[in-house]
Structure 1
């Protein structure tokens, strides 16, 4: 399918760095990217759906935001994207609201520590802290900690599935995982990096993101960074994987779906045609974003058994 016109419209929304910022040091460029994402949030994501419960909470030191429509609901722990370097609970607020509204599940959005200020494994540690906190405090929050899923997009998808595998290994398996164009390959070796370009993400940007999050090259080969380095994926939770046609991460997401299927894990992999990386949170710009959020909601309802 040709690139959807909504892709071109979306690329014009976010403020691009001026020439002097491009010439500045990498940290200054990162700060600009962080500000630009926050500033464009309303235009990209639209108005907030009102919910009965939207509250910021402290999960054993990790800031989170809880969204809920009823008591006793299953929980999706959501880990936002942004190359492990930017993004926030606020920039994914609208997506989390829609998933909570459509699914009936509670959504707990994780404000994990960002690189380069906090490198690997800080973000992963924060996600695991939140999972432990939900299991311990969920009943007091009015949610059901015994029906627990995890999800995330891009870098958040990587963190989510690594955390899910670690939970499996600790004999505290999760019930479901949702991975939206997950970052899977630190080597950025898939063919889609060469086939897809000019739509907001490229190989150079992903290499920089991986290197910023995991400065030590040796660490990038381990299973806590590279999900496909895991010898046995059997016992991973049933999985929904969403990829985008015009996304450099497209093929590695598909490869991970194939690896999970080979290991006997129930997987639904859906590729959204005509759209690019990052589309899923941009509910005000993409018809496909609203469809993806609703697909996630339906899958959660089915998986967590109301």
Structure 2
């Protein structure tokens, strides 16, 4: 474990998805307790995307942006909001130079799959259709996210390919949860790692799917064909149950002819990027921004 990160582990609350009312409050309180990011170089606007139902979004506009990324929050599909994602969205917009659009998609178990994916797909179509208003190139739209948000990014890339929807320039998958089967070595053996454990994964999938079987749009690792998908940046944390399915997905993308950059961050755990005082977290965040900048400007 990275020593800077390890020092914080005793201070982290346990993730308990059996009492969502309590955990949602803990999650929100953690976000508001962290230092606010610098937003002096950004224009920030809350909008509502017309859909069924309408989808709230928050738009971060840096100066002279060319492209955009639809950025999707983590939280096991059960927690997270525009406010909790502010700590990620603002620095990503600042370092990437991209318009960042965060999505307040519907949460489980109140709204199970495919509600969140439907919300994200509606925002993708709206972003493409309103590119001129947003000041971006409609051919320079990326999707990305962390954990369950990365799941939704991978899923919306599959759906846009299959339905011949809006073109996606790039997908950025950070510590993605992709496989409901949990058969990988990391999913079976990391039973008590910080924040994300085997039990947390099982509870999150249970809330998201209910009694429905997983499809590739719910668990992208189940997709048989990964050809024709956008180029990808796949980042994994060493001590994370999600680690091996992210690596496996990156390799399968490569084998399907998709260009991939795979970054395995040693000494990190799931969500440790939120500990932004650590040097490794700063390097991870800088890599996200630099990768998006390259993908959307080349």
The equivalent position to 2:3 in structure 1, one of 5, 13, 22, is 5
Where does residue 46 of structure 1 map in the other structure?
35
Q: Residue 282 of structure 1: CA displacement?
A: 3.4
The equivalent position to 1:150 in structure 2, one of 110, 132, 143, is 143
The equivalent position to 2:203 in structure 1, one of 200, 204, 208, is 208
Q: Deviations over 1:190-247 (max 9, x none)?
A: 11123323322111110110010001242x1x11112122221111100000100011
Where does residue 297 of structure 1 map in the other structure?
289
Q: 1:42-121, aligned counterparts within 5 Å?
A: 42-43=32-33, 45-50=34-39, 51-60=41-50, 61-121=54-114
In structure 2, C-alpha distance between the alignment counterparts of 1:111 and 1:12, rounded to whole Å:
30
The equivalent position to 2:194 in structure 1, one of 193, 196, 199, is 199
Q: Is the 8 A contact 1:138 1:145 kept in 2?
A: yes
Distance 1:16 1:192, change over 3 A: closer
Gaps of 5+ in 2: none
Q: Residue 270 of structure 1: CA displacement?
A: 0.4
How many residue pairs end up in the alignment? 292
Q: Residue 273 of structure 1: CA displacement?
A: 0.8
Q: Residue 130 of structure 1: CA displacement?
A: 0.4
Q: Is the 8 A contact 2:193 2:240 kept in 1?
A: no
Q: Is the 8 A contact 1:49 1:94 kept in 2?
A: no
TM-score normalised by the chain length of structure 2 = 0.92
Q: Is the 8 A contact 2:89 2:100 kept in 1?
A: yes
Q: Is the 8 A contact 1:92 1:281 kept in 2?
A: no
Q: Residue 8 of structure 1: CA displacement?
A: 3.2
Where does residue 278 of structure 2 map in the other structure?
286
Distance 1:91 1:282, change over 3 A: farther
In structure 2, C-alpha distance between the alignment counterparts of 1:229 and 1:198, rounded to whole Å:
25
Q: Residue 288 of structure 1: CA displacement?
A: 2.1
